[in-house]
Amino acid sequence: MNTSSQRLLHVENLVLHFKTAHGAVQAVDGVNFDLDVNRAVVILGESGCGKSSLAKAILRLLPRNVERYSGEVYLQGQDVMALDEEEFRHNVRWAGMSLVPQAAMNALNPVLRVGDQVAEPAMIHLGVTKSQALGQAKRMFQHVGVPEDFLDRYPFELSGGMRQRVALAMALVTSPSLVVLDEPTSALDLLTQANIMNVLKRIKHELGTSFILITHDIATSSELADEVAIMYAGQIVEVGDAKDFFPAPLHPYSKMLMDSVPRLRSDADPIFITGQPPSLVNLPTGCRFADRCPFRFGKCDEEPPMIEKGGRKVKCWLHV
């Protein structure tokens, strides 16, 4: 992890708070993680933990009610937080990293041919001609497994799985080194989900793209994960290599989350986590999971540090 030449993304102390009538919603509250070239990190968390806000914070796609937005984001060694909006839009978003937003397959423009929609980002962000952009779109269609003649079709002529592939092709058409996927399979059927995960794996091998996969679906996420980051109440509480994480998660929340997954190939009785995550407006001062944690002890009233443990990191006093 020390070879900085391989380092693609470095996120340090990223903060995104929203202004609301009830106070500041601390959706992303001091997130740190790194991603190397041609790796995929899965950000796992339950609804309302701030995982979609994290995607927005990385890509600087901010709504109007931002209370606080700070931290460091380095993409390929470049400090992108220092760029102004115009530079960021020109050189980073799409060209450097792109997003497949949640329910992207339903966000395609219904009155434009999908080929033109996929080609458009290439024309705008790479400055190529329309025919070059269409050629690039055609190549991306091959990578994501959409037949070439679909370039001339309209979104309503495609099935959900095909539209999701088109959305993926659009994110890839500018050849970004990083693609952020927000719940890419949650609205799809089982077999279509498996197909899309196959496509993502293939793209990772063929194009060397890195991925940030944001999801609540633990089982499906393991199809792509090189690294796993568990998010809880605006913070990452555990991050580590998938090969270490899945057999033995460290944080009590990660453990319970893993034990709550019903499994097809095991008879273990799944458990559930009692209680609810804290409100992001009114966060406790100590460990944010303490109220639901069966291992709570005196120390947990103070905020735990991120502890390094054999290449993994966990934010929990138990592992000091």
Partner 1 sequence: MEENGKSGQGALLSINDLHVWYELRRFGFGHAGYVKAVDGVSFEMAPGETVAVVGESGCGKSSLMKTILGLNIPTKGDVIFDGKNLSNLKGHELRAYRFEVGYVQQDPYGALPPFMSVQKILEEPLLISGVKSKDERLSRIRKVMDEVKMYPADDFLPKFPHMLSGGQQQRVVIARAMLREPKLIVADEPVSMLDASVRVEILKLMHALQTEHHLSVIYITHDLSTVKYFSARIFVMYAGNLVEKAATRRLLENPLHPYTHALLAATSDPDARNADTFKEVPPGEPPSLVNPPPGCRFHPRCAQAIAGLCDEKEPPDFEPEPGHQVSCWLYQ
**Residue span 231-260 as binding mask against partner 1, x where in contact by CB under 8 A, dash where not:** -----------xx-xxx--------xxx-x
| Cα–Cα nearest to 238, from 289, 297, 312, 303 | 312
- Total interface residues for partner 1 by CB under 8 A: 48
Shortest distance (Å) from residue 269 CB to partner 1: 8
Distances (CA, A) of 47 to 52, 76, 95, 294: 9, 30, 30, 22
Burial of 319 (0-12, 13-18, 19+ CB in 10 A): middle
- Alpha-carbon gap, residue 205 to 209, rounded angstroms: 8
The answer to whether residue 272 forms part of the interface with partner 1 (CB under 8 A) is yes
Candidate segments 18-26, 216-224, 278-286, 299-307, binder of partner 1 by CB under 8 A:
216-224
- Alpha-carbon gap, residue 97 to 210, rounded angstroms: 9
| Cα–Cα nearest to 51, from 14, 96, 105 | 14
Candidate segments 55-63, 164-172, 215-223, 311-319, binder of partner 1 by CB under 8 A:
215-223
The answer to whether residue 310 forms part of the interface with partner 1 (CB under 8 A) is no
**Residue span 174-213 as binding mask against partner 1, x where in contact by CB under 8 A, dash where not:** ---------------xxxxxxx-xx--xx-----------
The answer to whether residue 219 forms part of the interface with partner 1 (CB under 8 A) is yes
Shortest distance (Å) from residue 270 CB to partner 1: 4
**Residue span 50-89 as binding mask against partner 1, x where in contact by CB under 8 A, dash where not:** ----------------------------------------
In DSSP terms, which residues pair with 42 in a beta bridge?
A: 213, 228
Q: Are 80 and 88 in contact (CB under 8 A)?
A: yes
Q: What is the largest CA-CA distance in the chain?
A: 65
- Alpha-carbon gap, residue 235 to 251, rounded angstroms: 13
Interacting residue with partner 1 among 63, 127, 147, 270 (CB under 8 A): 270
Q: Which residues bind partner 1 (CB under 8 A)?
A: 40, 46-47, 159, 161, 189-195, 197-198, 201-202, 216-226, 242-243, 245-247, 256-258, 260-266, 269-273, 276
